[in-house]
Amino acid sequence: MCHDAPMSEAVQVEEATLRTEPGVAYAVARLHQRLFAGITERVAPYGLTTLQFTTLSVLSRHGAPLSTSQLARRAFMTPQSMSEVIHALESKGLIKRNPHPNHRRTLPATLTAKGRRVLAACEEAVSEFEDSMLDGFSEKDRAAFFEMVKAAVRNLGGGFPSD
């Protein structure tokens, strides 16, 4: 009978540590998975991948030419991966690169007129997708959710300057 005590203690400890719901990290990971898949689905008809769409968005938001390394940092990619994305976007005529006046080896990228049109169409499709994700949220809740997500990213050192 001595052996029963340690076993029942182990069962009690195990039961005490079991959660009935997944944690925040799991929920956010699932959200990321669904977001990535949904964005991929919505930009594919325009001939883009999610990473290409993200790169066009970064270029548009920045408003000035960006080098491959600058784009990589802002899009959370390695410079090597960004080089592949840049090459694909350039071959599709969505961006152009011109030598930097002071650094001839640097080729900052800018959106072309075609790139701006494709980006606008993709942003509309992605915006509709985001609306479906936030269905049932009040405007106040949407704003609060967005602020909380940005704060969580900042807390983990991922950017988003405070307003």
Percent of the chain with pLDDT over 70: 82
Contacts of 122 (CB under 8 A, 6+ apart): 42, 43, 46, 48, 53, 56
| pLDDT tens digits along 56-72 | 999 999 887 888 888 88
Structure tokens at 35: 């977001």
| pLDDT tens digits along 80-112 | 999 999 999 999 999 998 876 666 566 888 999
| pLDDT tens digits along 104-140 | 566 888 999 999 999 999 999 999 999 999 999 999 9
3-state secondary structure the chain: CCCHHHHHHHHHHHHHHCCCCCCHHHHHHHHHHHHHHHHHHHHHHHCCCHHHHHHHHHHHHHCCCECHHHHHHHCCCCHHHHHHHHHHHHHCCCEEECCCCCCCCCCCEEECHHHHHHHHHHHHHHHHHHHHHCCCCCHHHHHHHHHHHHHHHHHCCCCCCCC
- Max distance between CA atoms of the chain, in angstroms, equals 84
> 0.85 cut: is pTM over it?
no
Q: Taking the CA atoms of the chain, what radius of gyration do you get in angstroms?
A: 22
**pLDDT of amino acid 13:** 57
